[in-house]
Amino acid sequence: MRKLLVTLALTVLFLPLLWLMPAQAADLGAGEAVFKANCAACHMGGGNVVNGAKTLKQADLEKWDMASVAAIKNQVISGKGAMPGFGAKFNAEQIENVASYVLDQASKGW
């Protein structure tokens, strides 16, 4: 009985910490692979061959309110303008990884 109470007490104490733990980081290597296979044709080196004013460079991402993983994920899923949506092609993990990769590369200047 005592063992059960100790286990229950420890569970009650430490279970809330699971919600405070950060989400697992995106896999930038996997994101790079998705980018190279699907995005680099139009966005080589963070550029944009269709619309040179809307690159993946940090300044442009900030200018167009795209400087977050959430905004980039939405763009990848839904597309916009000449960019098709990839929501049906990629799974959630691939989208998270490629969005994180783009944001990471932008912060490094590509």
Model confidence pLDDT, tens digit, residues 47-61: 999 999 999 999 999
- Report residue 20's pLDDT band, with 50, 70 and 90 as the boundaries: very low
> Residue 83: what are its φ and ψ, rounded to 5°?
-80, 125
- pTM equals 0.78
Q: Which residue is it, tokens 């190279």?
A: 36
Per the CB < 8 A criterion, the answer to whether 97 and 31 are in contact is yes
Task: Express each pLDDT in 26-44 by its tens digit.
Answer: 999 999 999 999 999 999 9
Give CATH for domain 27-107: 1.10.760.10
Q: For residue 32, with 0-12 CB atoms within 10 Å meaning exposed, 13-18 middle and 19 or more buried, which class applies?
A: middle
